[in-house]
Amino acid sequence: MAKVVIPANDARKSFTIYARDLRSLNFFLTTPEVAVEDGDREIKSKFVPIHKRRKGPSDTAPVNVSESTREYMVDPSLKSGNALPGTSFIFKTTENADVDEQRQFTFVGRIMDVVAYFDRNMKYETYFYPANGARKTLRIRIANEG
């Protein structure tokens, strides 16, 4: 999973985009984005002291469990379940584009900041379908606009 943080600029506030593959997002953009590193996986261990454990709710004679050290992995890129955080949206190229592509992403932030950032930064004329709003057509960047 790729996490891209778009910094604030003038009136536009910062927001975060999550994509299953960064190449899917960069397919639509004139300037490719770079994913933020969440950190590396690491193995941690913790000490578990002696404690009692019952076999069930009606067990009247719990057994002692000896002390031990347990190891577990911490991976900052993993999310709980299959869902990506944030509000989903879809990029779909219009019928005027040379290609026919559709990809889904999520964002955390304000929808108006997302539209302001992507408008005129697209390789192809693209429809933007947010999960909670109306379709918006994002325009392509013209070479002399810089």
Using one digit for the tens of pLDDT, what is the confidence trace for 41-69? 788 999 999 999 998 999 899 999 999 99
pTM over 0.75: no
Contact 29, 121 (CB under 8 A): yes
How large is the average pLDDT for residues 130-136?
Answer: 89
Alpha-carbon Rg for the chain, nearest whole angstrom, is 23
pLDDT tens figures, 66-110: 999 999 888 766 666 666 788 999 999 988 888 899 999 999 999
Q: What percent of the chain clears pLDDT 70, i.e. is strictly above it?
A: 89
Tell me how far apart the terminal alpha carbons of the chain are, to the nearest angstrom.
Answer: 31
Q: What is the pLDDT of residue 98?
A: 83
